[in-house]
Structures are given as C-alpha cells and as structure tokens.
Amino acid sequence: MATQLSGGGRRRRPFGWQSPSADRHPAVALAIALPCAVLLMVLFGGWEQLATQAKAVADLIGR
C-alpha cells in the first residue's frame, strides 16, 4: 500500500467557514440563543417558573 507524500495534509474548507480564532459579536450569539430559549420556555411552561424566580430575586433584593 502506497503512502501519499504530497499535499501537506491540508483540507479545503467549506465556503463561508471561519477560523476558530474569529470572534463573533456577543449580539449575534444573543440573537441566536434568545429565540431558542424563549421557544423552550413556551413549550415547557417555563413562564411560571421564570415569574416565580423573578419574584424570589426581587424579595431578596428588597430585604
């Protein structure tokens, strides 16, 4: 079996692929994550839990 010696082992990257060192703006990450979080809250009835937790935090701050 022959071994390939040329090519340097580099692969072509898909179009639009960014290197891992490229930074994404925090607003972009928020725009991606926030709709998913809201959808999960609606699907699983998380609004009541959110209201309960917000009231508990408000009570702690108010003391």
For the chain, give every domain's residue range: 26-62
The 10s digit of each residue's pLDDT in 30-44 is 999 999 988 988 888
The string of DSSP letters for 1-63 reads -----SSTT--PPPTT---TTSPPPHHHHHHHHHHHHHHHHHHTTHHHHHHHHHHHHHHHHH-
Express each pLDDT in 9-63 by its tens digit: 566 666 666 665 568 888 998 999 999 988 988 888 888 888 899 999 999 998 6
